[in-house]
A and B are shown apart, each in its own frame.
Chain A
Amino acid sequence: EDQVTQSPEALRLQEGESSSLNCSYTVSGLRGLFWYRQDPGKGPEFLFTLYSAGEEKEKERLKATLTKKESFLHITAPKPEDSATYLCAVQAGKAAGNKLTFGGGTRVLVKP
């Protein structure tokens, strides 16, 4: 069974204090690993897709990396507007119906 574990559950940062979020996964043949951002009361917003170990993608202050067992979302010099819940999801190679398995998320609060 595919499993995704995100840590920490919550993260409080000062503005400008860089940090990393972890997503550990167990999946039978990874087709893709996805990162989403979710603001309170809203649907998840797509950030990145990673397909193979060693791959990296960047968007503004966010950088996602992938190994064979985990992915990291690095937040560099965060601003208060980066406060959100960050969700990680995996898609197995044989997943029926484009199924995504989500982790529980990491709630990030960036204080000015």
Chain B
Amino acid sequence: ETGVTQTPRHLVMGMTNKKSLKCEQHLGHNAMYWYKQSAKKPLELMFVYSLEERVENNSVPSRFSPECPNSSHLFLHLHTLQPEDSALYLCASSQSLAGVDNEQFFGPGTRLTVL
């Protein structure tokens, strides 16, 4: 595997379900991110982790719960979601949070549909 991978690629869930999204980066990076991409809206940052510590929570509802067990893996736990949470959820990673040449590299995303 290379780059940033995400599973599953597609997920359909009911509002009472609990599910998790998984992200893995194979780039040796120290920072990881969750973004939400809704139709007709710009990419929105949700969470930022650096060396497994959460450094940013961009006013995200508590029904989204991130977990970063190590610098290569990032999870997004979902529970009691709403239909408006349907979107493409993207994971990204970067070498660190500071300095130049700190580009974020994205995974392919998980297309989430909440019924």
Which residues of A are interface residues toward B (Cβ below 8 A)? 4, 32, 34, 36, 41-46, 49, 51, 87, 89, 96-105
Alpha-carbon separation in the docked complex, A112 to B108 (Å): 27
- Using C-beta atoms within 8 Å of the partner chain, give the interface range for chain B: 20 to 34
A98 touches B42 (CB 8 A): no
A99 touches B48 (CB 8 A): yes
Interface membership of B102, Cβ < 8 A: yes
CB of B2 to closest CB in A, whole Å:
13
* Residues on the A chain within 8 Å of B92, using CB: 43
Alpha-carbon separation in the docked complex, A100 to B31 (Å): 13
CB of B39 to closest CB in A, whole Å:
11
Q: Contacts A97-B50, A98-B98: A104 and B108 contacting too (C-beta < 8 A)? A: no
- A sample of 28 inter-chain contacts (CB < 8 A) reads A32-B100, A41-B109, A42-B108, A43-B6, A43-B90, A43-B92, A43-B109, A44-B43, A44-B90, A44-B106, A45-B106, A46-B104, A46-B105, A49-B101, A87-B43, A96-B56, A97-B50, A97-B55, A97-B56, A97-B97, A98-B48, A98-B94, A98-B96, A98-B97, A99-B56, A99-B58, A102-B42, A103-B42
Q: Contacts A32-B100, A43-B107: A96 and B55 contacting too (C-beta < 8 A)? A: yes
Kindly report which residue of chain A lies nearest to residue B97, judged by CB atoms: A98
Alpha-carbon separation in the docked complex, A104 to B44 (Å): 11
| 8 nearest A-B pairs in the assembled complex, by CB-CB distance | A97-B56, A43-B106, A97-B48, A102-B43, A98-B97, A102-B42, A97-B55, A44-B106
* Residues on the A chain within 8 Å of B6, using CB: 43
CB of A103 to closest CB in B, whole Å:
6
CB of A20 to closest CB in B, whole Å:
20
B42 touches A104 (CB 8 A): yes
Residues 36-66 of B, flagged 1 when their CB comes within 8 A of A and 0 if not, give 0000111111001010000110100000000
Q: Contacts A43-B107, A98-B31: A104 and B41 contacting too (C-beta < 8 A)? A: yes
Kindly report which residue of chain A lies nearest to residue B54, judged by CB atoms: A97
CB of B72 to closest CB in A, whole Å:
17
CB of B48 to closest CB in A, whole Å:
4
